[in-house]
Amino acid sequence: MRQTHYRACHLCEAICGLLIETEDARVVSIKGDPDDPLSRGHICPKAIALRDIHEDPDRLRRPVKKVRDGDAVRWEEISWQEALDTTAERLLAIYREHGVDAIGIYMGNPTVHNYGMMTHQNNLFRFFRTKNRFSATSVDQLPHHLASLWLFGHKSLFPIPDIDRTDYFLMLGANPVASNGSIWTVPDVRRRIKDLTARGGRLVVIDPRRTETAQLASEHHFIRPGSDALFLAALLNTLFDEKLADPRQLAPFVDGLDTVAAALAPFTAEAVADATGIAAATTRGIARDFAAAGAAICYGRMGVSTQAFGAVCQWLIQVINIATGNLDRPGGSLFTLPAMDQVSNIGPGGFNRHRSRVRGLPEFDRELPAAVMAEEITTPGEGRVRALFTGAGNPVLSTPNGRALDEAFEQLEFMVSLDPYLNETTRHADIILPPTSPLEHDHYDIGFHINAIRNTARYSEPVFDKPEGSLHDWEIFTALGERVAAALGEEPRKPMAPHEMVDLGLQFGPYGRDSEHRLDLATLKANPSGVDLGPLKPQLPERLFTANKRIDCAVPLPLADLERLRGELAGAGDGGLRLIGRRHVRDNNSWMHNYHRLVKGRDRCTLLVHPADLDRHGLKDGDSARLASRTGELTVTVEASDSVMPGVVSLPHGYGHDRDGVRLGTARAKAGVSCNDITDDRWLDALSGNAAVNGVPVTLAAAS
């Protein structure tokens, strides 16, 4: 029987609405839903791959355990009872013998794309309140969280670029045409950019590579990797120096701008020009145009977060928006008011309440930087990680110095992974607990509605029934929690399904039973394409989570870090090469490479090198070359491209599927190399502890 199912794609932050046609147990077609109020019919190639994920023969359907026979390893299917009992018993044994900090936890990026992982992980982890928690946050968006915590009082209160109503968009280190937006849920961004320029607006992109987004921009300016904080400081300095700063409607509740202006006095456009590679006249011109625009946005993403001054970059970006009155303003950056308002429902977060055992790096939101994970496993002493739980993560390919982490995992006494694949990380596990396919469970985007360009709500019912003998991710966490509770003599939590939590969240949210909308889960089920709750609106100062409902721009930590930034004013550096990453619309980190329709075509895992740098190193297009850093080396295929500026090389993230014991047939056929085998676990943002995987010093030579 043919059926049409309404679904939100969960594979990236754009959460595009889909129409999935099935016949019995088979997906027939996947198309965009034109009635979705957020995506308006747009989809990208990743959505089509949902069928491949569901049908993938490499996806695990039953729990497996590792069985060793001498040096040989094989995987044996086991029952859920054995898998869950063994996992709970081993975690408890190590906890009782070595203490709670002997348990490590790493949660990967897909966690936020699967709402059961978000709602129910604490059913287990509340018993293991370890200091050794890690996640993809600290190799990604940690500086965004800190800027929001410092300025607005909450880690998840993100200003969202209002691209559909802006006149001037200054974008740094972001490529939304490839990523579909990041900490910015913005489906069909290509059309939105074209609409912006068609109405006379301007998009100005600052990036070491002429990205797919930069190709659509009104202007693109190359910048030396890692120098964005200098450019932003000079831009803000110009606004203050030329009396262009005017917080307008924000003035009654904004403090500290004079303090910031004084601290930025050394960072003139002229002083930073050599270090950034951007002429002083260009920087001053951008500042003047930004201030003169009817509505303007300054936005920066991965390229400015995952570098040595990531936290300072994100703080400066928001101070620019505040100082020009473009925060909380239509056409500027606005805060969302989602139907299930997690910003109001969860704690604001905290920073530097404890530090890592070995290197002394600060925690954020009770998590340590992922860059210290290997040393916390291998360094003897009290608090050493001896057991590890990974959920929906592949840190061997996703965190800096992945080879060191790969080796460290061999020293664990026990490892368990909640994951549907035998990949580069989970191959080290003793037990793998695979959840149902995404199309076999319901979904609500708790996380990404916080970042959306419009307030909407959409609930996705399962496309297929849950197969007999399988468990959803939330059921796995619940079952493990029940076992641990029983062993500790505690009462287990009464199970509540994720959709029941969503229903309560909707009813008690801003559009719930006390509002004109009276929104609940039944309403969303009756409107499967979603409900439109309107455009983003100004909400300050009421939406602030600061104690006094004010914004203090003079945040002590980034102000103090400006002294470190002054050290970058010396100029362009040693003339060596710097490595940056890149994104493709058919990629999403390490978890999109086992589906033929996403990896078909030419090899994308090549090293982009400017022709002048190829000549300087005696190389030509298509050659094999040795790319090396402090932590290791790779053999790469070089690709001549003037899309990268001289002195910059670019390698995509998430490849390297050639390790032994990986069960990813399609990915292994186009294995590529892992850029994180040469990124550096010592190359960090010293303020936040976030990994600085962009701007890593590297050398290039002909392969022997």
Residue 50 lies in a domain: yes
Measured distance CA(383)–CA(379) in Å, rounded:
9
- 150 with 47, same domain? no
Q: Which of 49, 44, 50, 80 is nearest to 64 (CA)?
A: 80
What would the mean pLDDT of 506-516 be, rounded to a whole number?
Answer: 97
Q: How far is residue 487 CA from its own chain's centroid?
A: 36
Residue 402, CB half-sphere, CA atoms under 13 Å: how many? 27
The set of residues, in sequence order, having a beta carbon less than 8 Å from that of 215 and lying 6+ positions away, is none
Residue 288 lies in a domain: yes
What would the mean pLDDT of 339-355 be, rounded to a whole number?
Answer: 96
- 169 with 221, same domain? yes
pLDDT-derived band at 661 (thresholds 50, 70, 90) equals very high
The pLDDT tens digits for 142-195 are 999 999 999 999 999 999 999 999 999 999 999 999 999 999 999 999 999 999
Mean pLDDT of the chain: 96
What would the mean pLDDT of 497-508 be, rounded to a whole number?
Answer: 97
622 and 641 Cβ atoms separated by less than 8 Å: no
Residue 493's pLDDT is 80
pLDDT-derived band at 312 (thresholds 50, 70, 90) equals very high
295 and 168 Cβ atoms separated by less than 8 Å: yes
- 176 with 277, same domain? yes
Residue 197 lies in a domain: yes
Length of the chain: 704
Residue 411 lies in a domain: no
Residue 242's pLDDT is 98
- pLDDT tops 90 at residue 575: no
Q: For the domain that residue 193 is a member of, what is the CATH number?
A: 3.40.228.10
Enumerate the H helices of 277-355 as residue ranges: 280-292, 302-305, 310-323, 342-345
pLDDT-derived band at 488 (thresholds 50, 70, 90) equals very high
Partnered with residue 18 across adjacent β-strands are 7, 32
Hey, how many other C-beta atoms are within 10 angstroms of the C-beta on 198? 8
Residue 492's pLDDT is 81
Range of the structural domain that residue 164 is part of: 142-339+540-563
- 637 with 523, same domain? no
Measured distance CA(425)–CA(518) in Å, rounded:
45
- pLDDT tops 80 at residue 574: no
- 559 with 521, same domain? no
Residue 234's pLDDT is 98
Q: Which of 246, 559, 588, 149 is nearest to 392 (CA)?
A: 588
- 580 with 525, same domain? no
Residue 71's pLDDT is 84
Measured distance CA(336)–CA(455) in Å, rounded:
7
The pLDDT tens digits for 196-234 are 999 999 999 999 999 999 999 999 999 999 999 999 999
The set of residues, in sequence order, having a beta carbon less than 8 Å from that of 588 and lying 6+ positions away, is 11, 12, 46, 109, 654
Q: In the sheet where 387-391 sits, what is the strand order?
A: 72-77, 64-69, 431-433, 414-418, 387-391, 103-107, 133-135
pLDDT exceeding 70 applies to what percent of the chain?
Answer: 100
Measured distance CA(228)–CA(233) in Å, rounded:
8
Measured distance CA(535)–CA(360) in Å, rounded:
44
**CA distances for 302 relative to 15, 312, 442, 610, 691, angstroms:** 19, 14, 30, 22, 11
Measured distance CA(676)–CA(399) in Å, rounded:
6
- 556 with 631, same domain? no
- 222 with 310, same domain? yes
What would the mean pLDDT of 641-661 be, rounded to a whole number?
Answer: 96
Residue 31 lies in a domain: yes
Token digits for 423? 């990949």
Q: For the domain that residue 636 is a member of, what is the CATH number?
A: 2.40.40.20
What would the mean pLDDT of 556-583 be, rounded to a whole number?
Answer: 90
**CA distances for 421 relative to 111, 173, 431, 554, 664, angstroms:** 14, 31, 12, 46, 8
Measured distance CA(302)–CA(140) in Å, rounded:
7
Enumerate the H helices of 199-294 as residue ranges: 228-241, 257-263, 269-276, 280-292
Backbone φ and ψ of 271, nearest 5°: -70, -30
- 189 with 222, same domain? yes
- 39 with 151, same domain? no
The pLDDT tens digits for 109-153 are 999 999 999 999 999 999 999 999 999 999 999 999 999 999 999
Partnered with residue 416 across adjacent β-strands are 389, 431
Q: How do strand 17-23 and strand 26-32 relate by DSSP bridges? A: antiparallel
- 149 with 42, same domain? no
**CA distances for 108 relative to 118, 138, 334, 342, 516, angstroms:** 11, 11, 28, 19, 38
What would the mean pLDDT of 301-311 be, rounded to a whole number?
Answer: 97
Residue 479 lies in a domain: no
Residue 588's pLDDT is 79
Residue 49's pLDDT is 87
Torsion over CA: 317, 319, 324, 325 (sign): positive
**CA distances for 594 relative to 248, 372, 438, 469, 674, angstroms:** 51, 29, 15, 25, 15
The string of DSSP letters for 46-70 reads HHHTHHHHHH-TTS--S-EEEEEET
At 205 the three-state DSSP class reads: strand
139 and 306 Cβ atoms separated by less than 8 Å: yes
Measured distance CA(597)–CA(359) in Å, rounded:
43
pLDDT-derived band at 491 (thresholds 50, 70, 90) equals confident
Q: How many domains does the chain have?
A: 3
Residue 408 lies in a domain: no
Residue 121 lies in a domain: no
Token digits for 615? 């000549």
Q: In the sheet where 219-221 sits, what is the strand order?
A: 219-221, 202-206, 168-172, 296-300
- pLDDT tops 70 at residue 685: yes
Measured distance CA(617)–CA(619) in Å, rounded:
6
Residue 520's pLDDT is 98
Residue 652's pLDDT is 96
Measured distance CA(324)–CA(318) in Å, rounded:
10
pLDDT-derived band at 572 (thresholds 50, 70, 90) equals low
Q: How do strand 387-391 and strand 414-418 relate by DSSP bridges? A: parallel
- 255 with 327, same domain? yes
At 2 the three-state DSSP class reads: strand
In 99-201, the DSSP E strands lie at 103-107, 133-135, 160-161, 168-172
Residue 573's pLDDT is 65
